[in-house]
Amino acid sequence: MDRESIAFFEQISAVQDETGLFEAFADYCRRHGFESVCYLQLVKSGFRVPRHRVAAYHNFPEDWSNHYVAQGYYDDDPVMAAALKYAEPFDWFKVPETFDLTPKQQRFFADVADAGFKSGYAVPVFGPAGSVAYFGLATMVAEVVMTPEAKRGLLSVCHQTHLGYLKLQDADTDTR
């Protein structure tokens, strides 16, 4: 494992709240070319998480976030749907090559391009008690091409971030 990942794991093991956790994650992603990130918890304890509680964190541009919500993309997001079928990081822009998309899903990808995103990766993670989460990483700066080694490192970082989030959630529940 690379030193940067180990340093990240040490950093998040010391965080006391979700803000610190996700700021550390966003900083890690920025160093790897992604200025926009999101973390969505899709399934918790075997049950789908209600839509209004899914997004635990995101720093995507406000214009894009508002457009995403206004278009109702949450219910038809082809990247999120693909994340439930893959076990490793994948390039958003390869989804149309692999899945039959509805017209709305095709429009989603056109809107992603129109918004100026150059690269996007999704990282599905699976945790204890049937938890399933999804990390979205994107950039409007330049295309990011990830090597297999970089994908493995990113998967480890995302998995540890997911576990860190669950741990903080459990600690929060225990203190109530």
| Backbone torsions φ then ψ of 96, nearest 5 degrees | -60, -20
> Which residue, among 88, 102, 103, 99, has the nearest Cα to 158 in the 3D structure?
88
Spatial distance between the Cα atoms of 94 and 88, rounded to a whole number of angstroms = 14
- Given a cut of 70, whether residue 53 has pLDDT beyond it is no
Each residue's pLDDT tens digit, 113-153: 999 999 999 999 998 888 889 999 999 999 999 999 999 99
Residue pLDDT, tens place only, 75-123: 889 998 899 899 899 999 999 999 999 999 999 999 999 999 999 999 9
DSSP 8-state class, residue 100: P
Pairing state of beta strands 47-48 and 55-58?
unpaired
Distance of CA 118 to the CA centre of its chain: 16
Beta bridge partners of 134: 40, 124
pTM of the model: 0.89
pLDDT band of 169, cuts 50, 70, 90:
confident
| Structure-block tokens of residue 2 | 């690379």
Residues 33 and 144 sit within 8 Å (Cβ to Cβ) = yes
Q: Which domains does the chain have, with CATH numbers?
A: 3-169 (3.30.450.80)
Q: What percentage of residues in the chain have a pLDDT greater than 70?
A: 91
